[in-house]
Each structure stands twice: as structure tokens, then as C-alpha cells.
Amino acid sequence: LRTDVIVVAAGSGQRAGDGIPKQYRSIGGRTVLRRTLEAFAGSNGIRHILPVINPEHAALCADSAAGLPGVLAPVAGGATRQASVRAGLEALADDPPDLVLIHDAARPFVSPRLVARAIAAAERHGAAVPVLALVDTIKSVPETGFIASGPDRDALRSVQTPQAFRYALIRDAHRLQTHSAHLTDDAAVAEAAGHKVAVFPGDPANVKLTTPEDFVTAERTAAADLL
Ligand code: C5P
């Protein structure tokens, strides 16, 4: 089956500090986006990798993609993550894959094993996402400032990317959802369109880089990988 990857990288990513979007910051001499693109270029079974970016950063993206096999020319993202994914899905429509993996650029430590699990799960279930059991207890805290409820931790999972789908399923699901900006991942888009979304084991190393502290930790991880 033909499998393409959409790497969403059009966010402003400023919480990590120092002015440039986090996906263009360097870790151990390579940008976050380059590390992410390399991870997919080095995985089995991937045909094309499509970066979705803010066009203002086209030069930064070109540097990050230089020389990597399978990486397509980037397309412009939108105001929300959902709009950016939609732009990527539409850009693949002329030469559609059978399966598509949708991945946040801010998760550069995605491994070939996790990619293989994602492909297998998409083939089997049509829609599937990587999850981890929770370490922390989660509470809902409304504006009163007091705890309203605490869902049963045993049933909760945190959700990562790459999220994996049959291409036509997730493209059509996104086409139905143009007005709902509150859907923060593609599993929610698939669910809203009436699809069941399966889960497969995520990877604790596959963290989403968000804060300055995340970058400190990531530098250490990158240095340890060189040993
Ligand atoms: O901000 P957050 O880390 O949740 O964003 C997740 C991913 O979605 C990031 O890789 C970011 O670049 C991407 N994104 C996007 N377009 C937006 C907002 C976020 O591609 N408008």
C-alpha cells in the first residue's frame, strides 16, 4: 500500500522561547523539522513526505529538507492545526496514497518502529492513533478554581502522533469539518465523522517539544544518541 506522511509545521510555536518557531530550532546541530523528516525518510514503507508550513519560513524549510529522499515541496498551512492538516490532505489528492500518517513536526524522536506500528494499524483499522497510559492523575478545574471532577485514570490515555488513516477516510472527514476549530487532533476529526478510532502503543521517547525545558531535555537525548 502507498503510504504518505503529512508533517504539520505551520504553527508559530513560540512557547519554546527565543523567537523562531520551535520546529526550526536546532537540537544537536539539526533542526527539529529536519530530524522529523529524517525519521520518516529513514523508515520503511513511506512513499512521500509532505511538509505543511507557513510560507514565510520556506527558506528554513528548504534547508531542513535538503537532500532527503521522498520529501515533497511544502504547501501552505492555515490558521489552525486542523486547517493545516486539511491543506496537506488536499495537496495529496491528485496522486493519492492508500494510507496517510499525520504527524506534528514538533515530535522529532518518532522511531521507525513506531512508524511501522502506525502503518499496520491504519491498514487494519482505517483510523488509529498512538497512546500512552497516564502517569499523572488528571482533574477538570473550571473557573471556580476548585476541582470539578477527576476521570478514572485507568481508562485515560494520552495521545501522540503519527495518527494513521486510510487516506480517503480522513480526507472526507476533514471535508465535513471546516467550521469546527475545536478539534485538536485528527482522531477527533475522524470520530466527529462517525468513524471508530483504534489505538496502538505509542512511545515515551516520542515527546512533543513545547517548552524551553523540553529543548534542554532534547539536547541531552540527541547527545546520548551519538554515544
Ligand atoms: O501548537 P502545537 O504544538 O499543539 O501544534 C502541533 C503541530 O501542529 C505543530 O507541529 C505545529 O507546527 C502544527 N500547526 C500547524 N498549523 C497551525 C498550528 C499548528 O501546522 N496553524
Domain ranges of the chain: 3-225
C-alpha torsion 207→222→12→61, nearest 10: -120
What ranges in the chain are assigned the alpha helix state H?
A: 32-41, 58-65, 81-91, 112-125, 167-176, 186-192, 212-225
Residue % of the chain over a pLDDT of 70? 96
162/66 Cα distance (integer angstroms): 22
Q: Compute the distance from residue 81 Cα to the ligand 1 centre, in Å.
A: 5
Specify whether the CB–CB gap between 21 and 91 falls below 8 A.
no
Q: Compute the distance from residue 227 Cα to the ligand 1 centre, in Å.
A: 31
β-strands 3-9, 30-31 pairing: unpaired
142-196 pLDDT, tens digit per residue, is 999 999 887 888 899 999 999 999 999 999 999 998 666 678 899 999 999 999 9
Q: Which CATH architecture has domain 3-225?
A: Alpha-Beta Complex (3.90)
Cis upstream peptide for 97 (omega within 30°) = no
Specify whether the CB–CB gap between 222 and 152 falls below 8 A.
no
Q: Compute the distance from residue 146 Cα to the ligand 1 centre, in Å.
A: 30
Ligand 1 pocket: which of 8, 24, 34, 101 to mutate (most atoms <8 Å of CB)?
A: 8
Q: Which residue type does 91 have?
A: A
pTM for this model (two decimals): 0.95
Q: Which residue did the predictor score with more confidence, 139 or 70?
A: 70
Q: Compute the distance from residue 8 Cα to the ligand 1 centre, in Å.
A: 6
